[in-house]
């Protein structure tokens, strides 16, 4: 199994392997392994198009965010930045609100470019002014949930360029990134009340990157995804740079996507809470007019899984947000709209259910209990492994023996040895009248196929049943 080295990866979750001496029983194995694997399914993700909703309160920079109840879309037009509320099916729930205009800028300059996040029950927007394509002022605005202004502060003044900024929050503080040509960005850190906490330059040397970048705070670090240049037809790669909470670089620039001459602004970055995958959105085009919007999907370790067009047209500046299993994508260009996608996460790897449920269940002592095991091997179909079905009843252990069926712990033989294949839900236990207490059922596959738990690698799923 050449794909299994120090890690086994199915779909969108990767787990470091646990190496255990071959004479260790399943009793100890579960204590070491189940804590690592159960609770995070191995999933493969699909974006399913649902609908596109035109946005009418702007013409450029269409950014959807979630305020805990509604989708709020910020958009720019000649009079400034407007926000409008939509329900989760993208039906408008009111009229748009002008939240920033030329009255807020130096010399009443026109607003050009903005970013928008929601955290701490407040909206935060950063915006710049037009200035020969470069700008020179950068602002940070705070609104309450009702879209009323709380505060406005100037981030930089008379310091071009300020367009194509980046913005990210960590759940408490807000960070605005001003582009530094030839280097990367200068990050300005603010607390929730827009008090400046400090600033720091990121990039330079091997971490040099361009504007048109995006960032996300996840896994207690900041991930910045950026092009090398925004010059039309000249950018070949998108790269990721990782920073700690104080914006110290902890992982240097790493190429995550290569497509010579057609990678432009990369402004959409979201993380699916189920699969833990990262979804990067960009317009694929050799010109600055835009093109189809692509979704490059990466697993939790930033391995590229898929990269495909999800919206066609001459489009640009995509921004996204995920709410539960719904993906909202805003963009401008030939259309000014938000497209809505449902997210399908399919379990890849072993799966065990109790009475049809993957979640823990409680049943009465006289009720029937059905345990089923199923498996989707994904790209590992054909790999030869040991298959195990095990149960714990209080302090006692039982397993399905390939020769005699369910038996109490002892010889510890797998229920099956052979290649991974697509196993539909298969009933491994049907019983009525279990005594009161707690039961745990496990379905596992391990590699190599040697009848031993386990020398190299194991994937396990478990479900708990309480009989009362």
Q: pLDDT exceeding 90 applies to what percent of the chain?
A: 76
Q: What is the structure's pLDDT at 284?
A: 97
Instruction: Tell me: do 163 and 255 sit in the same domain.
Output: yes
Q: What is the DSSP letter of 426?
A: E
pLDDT surpasses 60 at 28: no
Instruction: Tell me: do 195 and 296 sit in the same domain.
Output: yes
Q: Please answer whether residues 441 and 454 qualify as being in contact, where contact means their C-beta atoms are separated by less than 8 angstroms.
A: no
What tens digit of pLDDT does each residue of 69-106 get?
Answer: 999 999 999 999 999 999 999 999 999 999 999 999 98
Q: What is the DSSP letter of 29?
A: H
User: Does a structural domain hold residue 248?
Assistant: yes
Radius of gyration of the chain (CA): 26
User: Does a structural domain hold residue 1?
Assistant: no
* Residue 65 bridge partners (DSSP): 72
Q: What angle do CA 321, 326, 330 make, to 5 degrees?
A: 40
Q: Please answer whether residues 399 and 26 qualify as being in contact, where contact means their C-beta atoms are separated by less than 8 angstroms.
A: yes
Work out how many domains the chain is built from and give that number.
2
Q: How confident is the model at residue 37 (pLDDT cuts 50, 70, 90)?
A: very low
In the block, which residue shows the tokens 């925004």? 230
User: Does a structural domain hold residue 2?
Assistant: no
CATH code for the domain in which residue 369 is found: 2.60.40
Which of residues 281, 313, 345 is at a domain's end? Answer: 345
35-39, 40-44, 62-66, 142-146: which has the minimum mean pLDDT?
35-39
Instruction: Tell me: do 340 and 396 sit in the same domain.
Output: no
Q: Please answer whether residues 409 and 392 qualify as being in contact, where contact means their C-beta atoms are separated by less than 8 angstroms.
A: no
pLDDT surpasses 60 at 242: yes
Q: What is the structure's pLDDT at 244?
A: 97
Which of residues 316, 345, 374 is at a domain's end? Answer: 345
User: Does a structural domain hold residue 292?
Assistant: yes
Instruction: Tell me: do 244 and 369 sit in the same domain.
Output: no
**Average pLDDT for residues 260-273, to the nearest whole number?**
95
Which residues lie below 8 Å from residue 124, measured CB to CB, with a gap of 6+?
116, 117, 118, 140, 141, 142, 143, 167, 169, 174
Q: What is the DSSP letter of 357?
A: B
pLDDT surpasses 90 at 254: yes
Instruction: Tell me: do 406 and 313 sit in the same domain.
Output: no
User: Does a structural domain hold residue 206?
Assistant: yes
Q: What is the structure's pLDDT at 131?
A: 59
Q: What is the structure's pLDDT at 347?
A: 73
Instruction: Tell me: do 70 and 125 sit in the same domain.
Output: yes
Count CB neighbours of 167 within 10 A.
21
Helices and strands in the chain, H and E counts: 1, 35
In terms of residue numbers, what domain contains 147?
44-345
What tens digit of pLDDT does each residue of 141-190 get?
Answer: 999 999 999 999 999 998 988 888 999 999 999 999 999 999 999 999 99
CATH code for the domain in which residue 271 is found: 2.120.10.30
């Amino acid at each position: 199994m050449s794909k299994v080295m120090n890690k086994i990866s199915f779909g969108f979750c990767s787990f470091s392997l646990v190496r255990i001496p071959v004479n260790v029983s399943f009793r100890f194995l579960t204590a070491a392994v189940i804590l690592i694997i159960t609770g995070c399914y191995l999933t493969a993700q699909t974006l399913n198009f649902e609908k596109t909703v035109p946005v009418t309160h702007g013409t450029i920079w269409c950014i959807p965010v979630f305020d805990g109840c509604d989708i709020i879309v910020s958009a720019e037009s000649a009079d400034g930045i407007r926000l409008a509320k939509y329900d989760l099916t993208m039906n408008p729930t009111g009229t748009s609100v002008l939240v920033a205009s030329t009255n807020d800028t130096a010399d009443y300059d026109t607003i050009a470019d903005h970013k928008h996040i929601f955290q701490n029950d407040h909206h935060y927007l950063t915006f710049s002014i037009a200035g020969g394509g470069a700008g020179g002022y950068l602002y940070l605005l705070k609104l309450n949930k009702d879209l009323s202004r709380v505060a406005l502060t100037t981030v930089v003044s008379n310091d071009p360029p300020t367009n194509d900024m980046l913005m990210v929050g960590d759940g408490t503080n807000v960070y605005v990134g001003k582009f530094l040509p030839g280097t990367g960005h200068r990050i300005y850190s603010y607390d929730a009340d827009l008090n400046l906490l400090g600033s720091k330059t990121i990039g330079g040397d091997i971490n040099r990157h361009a504007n048109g970048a995006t960032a996300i705070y996840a896994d207690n670090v900041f991930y910045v995804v950026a092009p090398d240049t925004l010059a039309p037809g000249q950018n070949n790669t998108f790269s990721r740079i990782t920073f700690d909470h104080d914006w110290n670089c902890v992982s240097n620039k790493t190429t995550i996507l290569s497509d010579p001459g057609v990678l432009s602004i990369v402004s959409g970055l979201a993380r699916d809470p189920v699969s833990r995958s990262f979804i990067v959105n960009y317009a694929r085009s050799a010109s600055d007019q835009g093109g189809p919007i692509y979704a490059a999907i990466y697993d939790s370790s930033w391995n590229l899984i898929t990269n495909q067009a999800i919206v066609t047209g001459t489009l640009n500046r995509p921004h996204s947000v995920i709410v539960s299993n719904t993906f909202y994508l805003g963009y401008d260009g030939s259309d000014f709209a938000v497209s809505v996608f449902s997210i399908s996460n399919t379990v890849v790897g072993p799966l065990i259910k109790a009475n049809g449920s993957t979640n823990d269940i409680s049943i009465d002592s006289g009720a029937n209990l059905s345990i089923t095991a199923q498996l989707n091997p994904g790209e590992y179909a054909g790999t030869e492994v040991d298959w195990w079905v095990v149960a714990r009843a209080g302090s006692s252990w039982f397993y399905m023996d390939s020769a005699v069926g369910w038996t109490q712990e002892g010889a510890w033989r797998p229920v099956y040895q052979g290649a991974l294949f697509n196993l539909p839900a298969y009933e491994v236990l049907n019983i009525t009248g279990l005594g009161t207490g707690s039961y745990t059922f496990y379905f596992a596959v391990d590699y190599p196929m040697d009848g031993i738990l386990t020398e190299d690698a194991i994937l396990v799923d478990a479900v708990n049943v309480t009989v009362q």
